Copies of this chain bind each other. A is one copy, B any other.
Amino acid sequence: MVFFVTPTKRRPEQKADLTRLGQTLAHIPNLFWILVEDAEGPSDMIRDLLDRLKMTQTSAHLAVSTPEKMRMNASDPNWKLPRGVEQRNAALEYLRTNHASWHRGAVYFGDDDNTYDWRLFDEIRKINRVGVWPVGIVGGLIVEAPIVASNGTVTGFTAKWKPERPFPIDMAAFAVNLSLIVENRDAGFSFDVPRGYQESHFLTSLKLSRNDLEPRADFCSKVYVWHTRTEKAQLSKKDLQRTLDPAQLSEPERNAIA
């Protein structure tokens, strides 16, 4: 089973992004989608989407708000604070409580606006403890990729940004075995780590080191995931305000975003 964990934030493009992602995931066999909304409670929009995609039985729909102090303003550059920390931790707790007994389970963190080639899921299924692969257009590069020696071990990384990180890779670059999450009950994400260290913090908290990395996607030569980002809608301040209160929206406006 592949557990695909998606933190997701309310914004005008959210429904479009989740529709596109949900349609990508809907026909993948043995996939379980854990959606964690950055919100006080689960939305009808996402419930209806899962229903429409016939994924109600193969998904969990959770919600937990990012604490006030750690929430960004619309005008903040999006790297200012870590994103999805509480949401991914909620998914880990959910997995420990509800799915601990799966014999073969892989956990992957898949953001709502990335692009996933269907072949990625075959690679995720192949991991033993922790698999890694390249990610396209991320970190200001055409690709960030693990460097693999001819004996098949990972000897380095192409990342240019903070290459001194224990694991200089993106959240989309790895998957881990569910058993590691169950065994390491305190493992997770944290607001208390330097910028860019979420992945390293998490993998380290699973007691993994670089030696454990299993290169996938044809020895890390193939790209099956891209860190695409959806442009923010160019709305007026007034319209942006109106998106927060469905009662103020016309029927097609409401349907476009909620």
Contact = CB atoms under 8 A, between A and B. Distances in A.
B17 A137 contact: no
A220 interface: yes
Interface in A220-258: 220-223, 226, 228-231, 233-236, 239, 242-243, 249-253, 255-257
A115 B231 contact: no
A257 B16 contact: no
B13 A226 contact: yes
A53 to B, nearest CB: 9
Contacts of A255: 134, 143, 221-223
A205 B136 CA distance: 42
Q: In the assembly, how many copies of this chain are there? A: 2
A117 interface: yes
B230 A228 contact: yes
A145 interface: yes
A12, A137, A230, A234: which has the most chain B beta carbons within 10 Å?
A137
B137 A23 contact: no
Interface residues of A, number: 47
Contact of A19 (B115, B145, B239, B249): B115
A27 interface: yes
B140 A234 contact: yes
B136 A16 contact: yes
A141 interface: yes
A230 B113 CA distance: 9
A256 B223 CA distance: 5
A74 interface: no
B234 A231 contact: no
A241 to B, nearest CB: 11
Ranked 6 nearest A-B pairs via Cβ: A136-B256, A16-B226, A16-B115, A137-B233, A143-B256, A223-B256
